[in-house]
Amino acid sequence: MKVICSYCRETIEEDQAAAESNISHGMCSECYEHFKPQWEGLSLGHYLDRFHAPILVVDENLRLLAANQVMADLLGRPERELKGLLGGEVAECIYARLEEGCGKTVHCTACTIRNSVTHTFNTGETLDQVPCYVEQDTGTKLFRLTTVKLNESIQMILEPVPEEENPTPSE
Q: pLDDT tens, 55-86?
A: 888 888 889 988 889 888 988 888 888 889 99
Specify whether 49 is located in the same domain as 107.
yes
The Cα–Cα gap between 23 and 30 comes to 20
Per-residue pLDDT of 122-165, as tens digits, reads: 999 999 999 999 999 988 989 999 999 988 899 999 888 887 76
Specify whether 113 is located in the same domain as 158.
yes
Tally of domains in the chain: 2
Specify whether 12 is located in the same domain as 51.
no
pLDDT attached to residue 108: 92
CA nearest to 155, candidates 64, 35, 52, 42: 64
Average pLDDT of the chain, as a whole number = 86
